């Protein structure tokens, strides 16, 4: 046997047996047969692929081996850090089209109840993520802020690949009174909102590139992270918003459309400092594997 890396079920002379490789294939990922080296959506084999990753890959029809590998690693990393169970929705924006970008990694069914995205207005979809046009493009997550666990146990995140001072939220839930949102970069400041509280994390702020997390784990403080840097602000507790989270727009009823390209977003329970740091490591590794990290 010349299968030098027995990842999955490699065939004879398959130097990388990731999935079920065909005979004499040197680098065939996915379920591959003698008629093709392109692979299928299923990565079959001896346990090398996480079942949740495979469910997403199948639902979103992800055929590219690099993207398949990146998704699998992201899921296993989040599970290894004990973060996976805290997530209600994860949007990895992989596959390069609206039909692949819409799926929620946590529940990849094409249903409102699974919190898959519904895109509206102008968007450009590519291997780098989803880019709204800044005038009418937004996406409805179908996930209502009021359905999350508790008032003091929530996080939202976005990974932005565009540096702009656009005064708009990249993720937001606002019902006219209460709001949970991230505004990555407004007039050289980082703003996040948590239940009608706005904080300015630092002045001047550098840019709107990278992973932004708005995180609440108690009744008196909001923790904001830009990549690995943490900012803390005191605020008063109030109520949750009773609206769905919207991407790339201030809310379902207010404009302020964003023109920042999104390469990741998530919604879920609050994260500890260690979890937030590990979350960034996992997400940044995912972006690096796809050659779109900033």
What does the pLDDT read at residue 24? 41
Q: At which residue do the structure tokens 């990731």 appear?
A: 18
Catalogue all structural domains in the chain, each as residue range(s) with its CATH number: 1-49 (no CATH), 51-289 (2.60.120.200)
Report the C-alpha gap between 257 and 195 in whole angstroms: 20
Distances from the Cα of 72 to the Cα of 48, 69, 115, 164, 220, angstroms:
9, 5, 20, 31, 37
What predicted TM-score, i.e. pTM, was given to this entire model? 0.82
The answer to whether the beta carbons of residues 166 and 134 sit under 8 Å apart is: yes
Q: How far is CA 36 from the centre of its chain?
A: 32
The answer to whether the beta carbons of residues 8 and 19 sit under 8 Å apart is: yes
Q: Is the pLDDT score of 201 beyond 90? A: no
Q: How far is CA 153 from the centre of its chain?
A: 19
Q: Is the pLDDT score of 254 beyond 60? A: yes
Q: In sequence order, what DSSP letters do the residues of 174-221 get, joined into one string? A: E-SS-EEEEEEEETTEEEEEESS-EEE--SS---S-EEEEEEE-SSSE
Residue 118: pLDDT band (50, 70, 90) is very high
Of 73-77, 163-167, 232-236, 278-282, the range with the lowest mean pLDDT is 232-236
Report the C-alpha gap between 201 and 287 in whole angstroms: 25
What does the pLDDT read at residue 18? 44
Q: In sequence order, what DSSP letters do the residues of 109-176 get, joined into one string? A: -SSGGGT--EEES-EEEETTEEEE-SSS-EEEEEEEGGGSSBTTBEEEEEEE------SS-SEEEE-S
Percent of the residues in the chain that have a pLDDT greater than 70, as a whole number: 73
What does the pLDDT read at residue 159? 98
Tokens standing for residue 144? 């209502």
């Amino acid at each position: 046997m010349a299968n030098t890396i027995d990842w999955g079920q490699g065939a004879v002379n398959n130097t990388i047996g990731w999935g079920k490789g065909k005979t004499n294939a040197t680098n065939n990922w996915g379920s591959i047969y003698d008629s093709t080296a392109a692979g299928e959506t299923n990565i079959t084999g001896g346990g090398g692929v996480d079942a949740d990753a495979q469910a997403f890959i199948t639902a979103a029809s992800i055929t590219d081996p690099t993207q398949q590998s990146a998704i699998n690693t992201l899921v296993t990393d989040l599970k290894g850090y004990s973060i996976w169970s805290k997530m209600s929705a994860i949007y990895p924006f992989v596959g390069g089209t609206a039909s692949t970008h819409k799926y929620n990694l946590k529940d990849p069914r094409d249903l409102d109840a699974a919190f898959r995205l519904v895109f509206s207005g102008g968007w450009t979809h590519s291997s780098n993520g989803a880019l709204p046009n800044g005038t009418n493009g937004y996406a409805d997550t179908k996930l209502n802020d009021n359905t999350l666990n508790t008032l003091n146990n929530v996080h939202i995140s976005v990974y932005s690949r565009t540096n702009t001072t656009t005064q708009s939220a990249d993720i937001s839930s606002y019902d006219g009174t209460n709001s949970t949102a991230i505004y990555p970069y407004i007039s050289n400041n980082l703003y996040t909102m948590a239940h009608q509280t706005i904080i300015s994390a630092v002045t001047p702020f550098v840019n709107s590139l990278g992973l932004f997390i708005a995180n609440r784990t108690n009744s008196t403080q909001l923790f904001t992270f830009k990549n690995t840097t943490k900012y803390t602000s005191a605020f008063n507790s109030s109520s949750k918003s009773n609206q769905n989270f919207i991407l790339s727009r201030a809310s379902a009823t207010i404009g302020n459309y964003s023109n920042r390209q999104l390469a990741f977003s998530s919604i879920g329970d609050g994260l500890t400092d260690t979890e937030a740091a590990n979350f960034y490591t996992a997400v940044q590794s995912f972006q690096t594997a796809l050659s779109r990290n900033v």
